[in-house]
Chain A
Amino acid sequence: MKLSTVPGQRPGDQEAPSAAQVPAATRRRGRRPRRQQLITIALFLTPALVLFLLLVIAPILLAGYTSMYKWNGFNLPENFVGLDNFTRAFQDPTFLGDLWHTLVLITLSLVIQLPVSLALAMLLNQKLKGRGIYRVIFFAPYVLSEVTTAVLFTLVLSPNRGLGQQIAGWLGIEALDGAVFADPDTVLYALFFVISWKYFGFHMILYLAGRQGIPQELTEAATTDGAGPWQVFRHVTLPLLGPTIRISVFLSVIGSIQLFDMVWVLTGGGPIHASETMAVTMFDRGFRRFEVGYASAISIIMFLISLVFALFYQRYVLRRDTEGALTTLGDQR
């Protein structure tokens, strides 16, 4: 039996085509929405749109406006400086450091965190004793809030009284002397460890769900054709997990770009800015130094980075996965 699966499309996708995917010919002629329907649509859309405009679009425009001013947040911005705040950001060693840290965190997430989550998901898909318990345990950290997690690890990795210190002592490890958050060379990796600890369960559950959407017949057929476990994973499971992996990568990258609360509570961006992220710098400049214009510029840069990444990713990576689900020109392309 030959395997013929369209990569990136789950079996079952065919069964329930969404409205947008129905070929135009099968639709009723003259399906132009009538006035009545337009009114209904408007009625249902208005509350959401108003909220969206007020809480998302307006603040973005406002931040864009204030980012062009040198402004301390008092009264109204008057000192127009054009794009000075933006050029300043790209000359600010702290901000350039933030960009670098973000890149490091993204890379580590993609190279370590997601593969580990995937491996665990595959493992917990096997029939083992107490599988449900393991799943719950691995997923549990994700339920904790970021601040709770950060406080927890502050205590665990505390240099003088922490649990990590005790365990390292028993094992006779001197290297992990508990001061991982106090050393500019290790703080970023310590931070990555904590982030991974919190989020690997979430990605694992995503992959598990994706894995369970793959019909048994396919893997069985591959095995019958003489494929070993690795080949089954490589040629059947992995391609069919494509959509899930792509979404998980997307969430992971966007999360890294906007990382704030965990860093704020855990390290405050220190020591000496070694674990600072864009959001932390933005908060410090805005609320501590009262350089609100500059902070707005940083937030706009963050927004643009996220936006550009999201658009490109949607356009080139997620295109097949989201076809018909998002407002693409489903049947007219």
Chain B
Amino acid sequence: MTAHLSRRTLLGIAGAGAGAYLLSACGGDEPTNPDGPQTINWWHIQNTEPMLPVWAAIAKEYETAHTNVKVVIQPLENEAFKAKLTTATQAGSPPDLFQSWGGGVLQQQVDAGLVKDITEQVQPWIGTLLPASVQPFTIDGKIYGIPFDVGMVGFWYNKDLFAKAGITATPTSWAELLTTVSTIKSKGIVPIALAGKEKWPGHFYWAYLAMRIGGLGALQQAAKDNNFDTPDFIAAGQRLKELVDLQPFQKGFLGAEYGSPDGQAATMGNGGAALELMGQWAPSVQASSSTSKKGLGDKLGYFAFPAVEGGKGTVAEAFGGGNGFVVGKNAPASTVDFLKTLLDVANQRKSAATGAVLPTVKDAADAIKDPNSKVVAASLASATGFQLYLDQAYPPAVGQQVNDSVAELVAGSKTPEQIVKDITKVAKSQ
């Protein structure tokens, strides 16, 4: 034990810096008494308006109600959070409550024994949540985290530009989508906005196509066998190539970011493109990154990713994910109780009312204001199956390779057959 500890401590000092080491030194005690004095270290990534003050207020309320508990909040920016969490986990001292998307990264944390199995403790109230939303946080039948937000990816379109191109109905099949894109392009309008610099928006297309062609089973099977070199995945690449060959994306899309003033969301929000494939946060980011700061308002419409002719998947199967919190291995006894408070109906309503969160508690759905978000929430509630984003669902190395490979396909430097081989190679090496 001591030798083990000293090696770890050494690693803590050298690898993660003295800060993480000090943190591990004072975070190691595990009070089992829920009534004793305790401190919950909470890291979240809602580091901006509107959610930042909401979280702070809920924590304050909880401290007032439980005088023995202190909640220390660290709001972090997404990328900074990932880097900081890596160093903290390497030092063997994860925070008590921290952001997670579930899936492959959570699996690694579970394997490393860094997070707590909370299945028993959440049993009384887990039923209030959408079952699909808890799925990414369930590893080998045990629950390690609770989602506070869940959503799905679909096509967001500009009704004005559709009308201008003379399109009256939204496409319901892949062939119709291609026709729609050609029509829009022939009218001199940019059909699709895409952030090529950040590779995750591109991977939505390939993943959704694979889902519609091979069904959810194909994706689960691939994860099990570590094999993506199958006809379904190759077909997904070929369908995506059909779209890419129409050259539907805005100028310079390979260098475009998602949320910058010249990025994918801004191109949509400024009316510079007719379509984007994006998650439930699309309207709010379109608004905040557009020149007018208002986005498209009621000119924005939503439709589900269309079916592919002859495919095994249906339009009712959703692809998406959510944000949640997992509990670190050294978390004090009150942590799960605090998590329960974060997830009670009143607090979920508050979160949903900001427009930045699609609640996971079923009874809080009535707090959603935006009509498009309502459509997304309804589709999610009626979804027959759910697949987490591939770059989160699979081990990180595989997820990032999917993103990289799809980007290569879109840029035209690799073929559909080559990318499934590349992804398989990484998956096999894990």
Contacts and interface: CB of A to CB of B under 8 A. Distances in A.
Given A76-B8, A160-B252, A270 B407 contact: yes
Given A75-B113, A158-B262, A184-B413, A284 B251 contact: no
A219 B396 CA distance: 63
Nearest to B395: A290
B31 interface: no
Interface in A119-166: 154-155, 158-162
Nearest to B190: A160
Interface in B254-302: 254-256, 260-262, 267, 272
B197 interface: yes
- Measured as residues with beta carbon below 8 angstroms from the partner, the interface class of chain B is 35 or more
Identify the interface centre among B7, B90, B198, B254: most chain A CB within 10 Å of its CB: B254
B108 interface: yes
B83 A287 contact: yes
Interface stretch (A6-14, A39-47, A173-181, A299-307): A173-181
Contact of B114 (A74, A177, A178, A179): A74
B382 to A, nearest CB: 34
A180 to B, nearest CB: 8
A179 B7 contact: no
Interface string A67-90: 000001111100000000000000
B56 interface: no
Interface residues of A, number: 37
Secondary structure of the B contact surface, majority rule? helix
Given A177-B251, A270-B255, A73 B86 contact: yes
Contacts of A268: 197-198
A181 B255 contact: yes
A159 B8 contact: no
Interface of B: 7-8, 11, 14-15, 82-83, 86, 89-90, 92, 105, 108-109, 111-114, 196-199, 250-256, 260-262, 267, 272, 395-397, 400-401, 404, 407-408, 411, 413
30 contacts: A58-B14, A62-B14, A62-B15, A72-B112, A74-B89, A74-B108, A74-B109, A75-B112, A75-B113, A155-B261, A158-B261, A159-B252, A159-B256, A160-B267, A178-B251, A178-B252, A179-B252, A181-B255, A182-B196, A182-B254, A182-B255, A184-B254, A271-B407, A272-B408, A287-B82, A289-B400, A289-B401, A290-B395, A290-B396, A291-B397
